[in-house]
Structure 1
Amino acid sequence: MFKPRAIEAYRRDEKLGHQMLTPEERIRLLKPYLPSPPLHPSEQANKRAMENEQRLGVRRFLKRQWHLFVFIVIHFFFSLYIRIRQAYHQVVNKISSVYHHHHRAPDLIYNDVKDLRRLPKHLSVVLTLDEDARGGTGLAKLIEEASDIAAWCASARIPQLSIYEKTGTLKGYLPRVHRSMTQKLAAYFGPNTPGVGIRAPHCPSIETAPTLAASRIENDGLKHLSVMILSAEDGRDSIVDLTKTLADMSQRGKISTSDITIELVDAELSESVMGEPDLLLLFGPRVELVGYPPWQVRLTEISHVQDNEGVNYQVFYRGLLKYAGAQMRWGR
């Protein structure tokens, strides 16, 4: 940056027609602010040689070897820890699966959960379609997993189940999903099969009434199971659509801005998509919501089993245990 004294001297010389300073003085005045001249080819070669010597020096070589050694040691111990943790969880899950096996008996499942302090009224799960499977086996596996979870919920007397699958494949096969769930419930409950209703946002619902024997049961057994199928388009996209609708209504004067409240947004999303679940189960090894509707999961208890792969009863049972022991502070 130019110094004020140099600027003043140069401007005064310019006003006097460059009569105050000699050419040598003007050069000395501007020289500190000029870029350095390019190096001579021989000087550039010497500079590169010095850089190569520094790059290939013994100290630099030893430093790189030390960094590589530290990286290998850290990687080794971390990999060892991961392997031991995975093996431990596999053994624990296997023992737990033997001790707590439902045997497709609703009474056994209910005995597992009847002493819990509380059970969710609305259970939600995240399922993943195996897109690498061939010949429709991925879809068949997905429907089978959804049917198993529906049977577990009915056995545990959880009246509402929502199933989130990101791609929306299940939405295109609602009759097939309903038929599979009905058959699965019949295999579990026999003549006392509860009714099941399955629906999806912006899709007609499919209902099945409970069997005559189930409707005559006088105890508090589940009479009807409600199932909601969700996909990624029911998440952020639904919030964006509602925002556009409310903004358009406000501009047209059909609704006041003071009427747009959290309660209104919650009511609209609950009606168009679904209400907020009490418990969200993840069957993957990590907590990944993969686009799950964000508004509906604000105060939901989220549960997953570390290093678990695939849908199994142990994740379902452990999730109910965690929910029963969780402290509900509602953000306070």
Structure 2
Amino acid sequence: MTIKSRVSIGGHRATDVSEAVKRKYQASSSLKKGSALDKLFSYVFHLILLACYFVYTIVRLVQYTNNKLRVRFLNLAYNPSKAPQLIREDVSKLGKIPKRLSVILTLKSEEEEGGGFYGLLNDAAEATTWTVAAGIPVLSIYEYDGVLKNSLEDLRISIFKKLSDYFGSSAVPTFSIRVPRTNKTYYGVNSDEDLEYKSGEIDIQLTLLSYDDGKPTIVELTKTMAELANKKEISPKDISIKLIDSELVQLIGYEPDLIVLFTPTLDLQGYPPWHIRLSEFYWEPDNEDVTYAIFLRALQKYSTCKINVGK
């Protein structure tokens, strides 16, 4: 190979290296540009999300404030002052009232106003008293953990005292408390053995519900029917929706016409699912206090609703 040829080859190699360096530089520049664009888009999207969050926070704050002011106004406008006659006057203006009412209560923390165990007892007693004064004969109280079920004596005393405050100690309405799945009914404060009390007309029948009366009851009932079918004590053909519904009614009771949720959102908290097929619901957004104003608003809304039952 001649010197000229070697120089030529060396020149080609130098050119190739130069082009490779250029391509590498161009690629690096493209990557840097792409990376810069990605960062720019990321910042833009981040700012958009922050703006959306800020707007949502402002809107939600306005809604919350408006709801709280509305509830406070209702509490001022509707205050029975422990006078059942005022409650009767409010209810007498309604076109219709439910025959069976249910309320969902929540055990609040001790730090909250009206919270703790005794706060829950007071809420249950208040709801019972308003229901009696409104002329509604059947009330069920749902509390997820079953605290009221496990504190029957305290609840009976609390209800009796509240009824005495409203109606007077000489005209306390009669009441009974039923605990589903136990087949036990308790009368008044200490009238379980009082035949005259039990045989007389009970002003309000109270049923205590908890999560155990919901899906767990359905599971338990299904297992029982399966065992009976295996033992030939019942024919599989006899097991129907009608039979299951009948058994559930015997265990828990009839479904309510109206369910009032003293919660800030529509949260049923595991309420018996078959128990709400035709029930109306009422709750006040951002409210978690048990007040007469919410109770009355629920009755007012129910009086204007139209229930269509499918065939």
The interval holding the TM-score normalised by the smaller chain is 0.7 to 0.9
AA matched with 1:207: Y
- Alignment partner of 1:281 out of 255, 260, 268: 260
Shift of 1:132: 5.2
**Structure 1: distance between partners of 2:125 and 2:272:** 22
- Of structures 1 and 2, the one with the larger relative CO (CA 8 A, separation 6+) is 2
- Alignment partner of 1:291 out of 264, 267, 270: 270
Q: How does 1:209-288 map to 2 (within 5 A)?
A: 224-288=203-267
Shift of 1:97: 1.4
Q: How does 1:1-332 map to 2 (within 5 A)?
A: 53=32, 56-57=35-36, 59-131=37-109, 133=111, 138-190=116-168, 191-203=170-182, 204-208=184-188, 224-331=203-310
Shift of 1:230: 1.1
**Structure 2: distance between partners of 1:51 and 1:322:** 66
**Structure 2: distance between partners of 1:51 and 1:159:** 79
Note if contact 1:285-1:308 (Cα within 8 Å) is conserved in structure 2: yes
- 2:296 aligns to what SS in structure 1? helix
- 1:56 aligns to what SS in structure 2? helix
**Structure 2: distance between partners of 1:279 and 1:193:** 25
- TM-score, normalisation: structure 2: 0.82
Shift of 1:130: 2.1
- 2:233 aligns to what SS in structure 1? coil
- 2:227 aligns to what SS in structure 1? helix
Note if contact 1:117-1:325 (Cα within 8 Å) is conserved in structure 2: yes
**Structure 1: distance between partners of 2:102 and 2:62:** 31
CA distance 1:54–1:178, shift in 2 (3 Å): farther
Note if contact 1:129-1:139 (Cα within 8 Å) is conserved in structure 2: yes
CA distance 1:228–1:50, shift in 2 (3 Å): farther
- More deviation in 90-99 or 188-197? 90-99
CA distance 1:65–1:248, shift in 2 (3 Å): same
Note if contact 1:175-1:206 (Cα within 8 Å) is conserved in structure 2: no
Percentage of identical aligned residues: 33
Note if contact 1:174-1:199 (Cα within 8 Å) is conserved in structure 2: no
Structure 2: any 5+ residue segments left out of the alignment? 1-23, 192-200
**Structure 2: distance between partners of 1:235 and 1:70:** 44
Shift of 1:61: 2.1
Shift of 1:133: 4.9
Note if contact 1:166-1:291 (Cα within 8 Å) is conserved in structure 2: yes
**Structure 2: distance between partners of 1:268 and 1:238:** 10
Q: Deviations 1:35-67 (Å, cap 9, x if unpaired)? A: xxxxxxxxxx99x9789736631x222211211
- 2:135 aligns to what SS in structure 1? coil
Shift of 1:318: 1.1
- More deviation in 222-231 or 240-249? 222-231
Aligned twin of 2:13: none
- 1:285 aligns to what SS in structure 2? coil
**Structure 2: distance between partners of 1:132 and 1:223:** 34
AA matched with 1:327: K
**Structure 2: distance between partners of 1:100 and 1:132:** 27
How many aligned residue pairs are there?
277
- What is the Cα-based RMSD across aligned positions, in Å? 2.7
Q: Deviations 1:69-111 (Å, cap 9, x if unpaired)? A: 2112211211111111111122222222111111111111111
- 1:149 aligns to what SS in structure 2? helix
Note if contact 1:285-1:306 (Cα within 8 Å) is conserved in structure 2: yes
Note if contact 2:176-2:202 (Cα within 8 Å) is conserved in structure 1: no
Q: Deviations 1:166-196 (Å, cap 9, x if unpaired)? A: 1111111111101110110111011222101
AA matched with 1:138: G
